[in-house]
Structure 1
Amino acid sequence: MKDLTFETLIAVFEEIFGFGLFWAMVAAAALVTVAFVYVLIRDRNLESRRLVRAELLAPVGAIAAIWFVQAMTSSGFRDIGGPIDVIVLIGIGVAGGVGLTILSYVAQALAGGPQRR
């Protein structure tokens, strides 16, 4: 594989997660992103209380993302072979932590209604 293209990455992710699960995760991420933008437009800023509460779930999201990817790839920590594997593992953890933080913030904002001034 000489070139790393967007199509190659999609094919690799579809192979790892399966066609249906991969596109379901993409759709869920898009839906949460749209909901987050809606909340930002509706409230016109971030509310610090909601954000702090949402950030408390970041470690849970990071651990869940790492566990999920390792379960889907049938690998474990003993299979980490070098620095790039550690970098990818950290990236997966960061993505999971940020994703759960945003999801939690959106859920709090939608359940609690518009922010009061």
Structure 2
Amino acid sequence: SVVIGARTADGAVAFDKQTLLDSRVLHGALGGTGDPMVAVADPVLSTGYVYRNPEDAAVEPDGDGYRVEGRENAFAAAELPLDRVLAFDAMWFAWAGFYPDTGFAGEHTEAGYGR
């Protein structure tokens, strides 16, 4: 399966890409620390953006954008008022090989599973 993976100095997280595109929002946790992370889809570009979410703020789709808890306006996927983490597409088996303690969010939530 294809994941959208992100890493920091503290750990890594992967979001199942198809699940993200279908659901538009996935909440996950950074492997190693459990720090909350959130991914949002950009269906026009068929990609997603990953953000740190230290306050575990609710993020919900709102039309073509996203509403973040505590904010009045909706934001584009690439412009949420959270700390964005560089993310990129990867094959799950490769991501899990490089980051065996990675967090994972999506339809398949056990290591070794994927589409």
Same fold (TM over 0.5): no
Kindly indicate which of the two structures has a greater share of residues assigned to helix.
1
TM category (shorter chain) comes to: under 0.3
How high is the TM-score relative to the length of structure 1? Answer: 0.24
